[in-house]
Copies of this chain bind each other. A is one copy, B any other.
Amino acid sequence: MDKEKKGVVIWFTGLPSSGKTTLAIHLRKKLENNREKVYLLDGDQLRSGLNSDLGFLEKDRSENIRRAAEVAKLLADSGLIVLATFISPFEMDRVKACNIIGRDRFFLVFVDCELEVCELRDVKGLYKKARLGEIKNFTGIDGPYEKPLHPDIIINTAKLSLEECVSQLEIDILSQFKV
């Protein structure tokens, strides 16, 4: 294990379909081209495994984020750059995640995108179901999303192109962590 290399966690928060995972996938490609070791820890992936026992009520969402942060920490401990993509709608949970991982290696990306644009994208068709009432507590519709008070970076995926978003992220991350 490369002991000298300190892992970091880049945490993406934002509405469903705001572009968190898309950004992370493209950022991973860029970082890997720079020979960085990257791990994409995705909300859906975790919900299908480790967190399959959790639902979408507020207390389950909190536990979902707590476990995600603990796992991100373990991965970062092994020297990886962890790209963690979680809606993580509550400020308190994001602060807890930061405390678990450690402020000096936690980088919060607010993937900002207007609800209307997210709903138009509706990558997984879930906004539609939420509007029809088939899904309850859906973030942005009948579930709240608290904008981060102190993000390290805000990326507006409605206003910038994907390429611009990823470049901006890469520059910011490289300058902050010198990865």
Number of interface residues of A (CB under 8 A): 20
Establish whether residues A50 and B32, one from each chain, have CB atoms under 8 Å apart when the complex forms: no
Establish whether residues B1 and A38, one from each chain, have CB atoms under 8 Å apart when the complex forms: yes
Q: How many copies altogether?
A: 2
Given A49-B100, A50-B70, 18 new contacts (CB under 8 A):
A1-B32, A1-B37, A1-B39, A37-B78, A39-B74, A39-B78, A41-B74, A49-B73, A49-B74, A50-B74, A53-B63, A67-B67, A71-B71, A71-B74, A74-B75, A75-B75, A78-B78, A78-B80
Which residues of A approach B to under 8 Å, CB–CB? 1-2, 32, 37-39, 41, 49-50, 53, 63, 67, 70-71, 73-75, 78, 80, 100
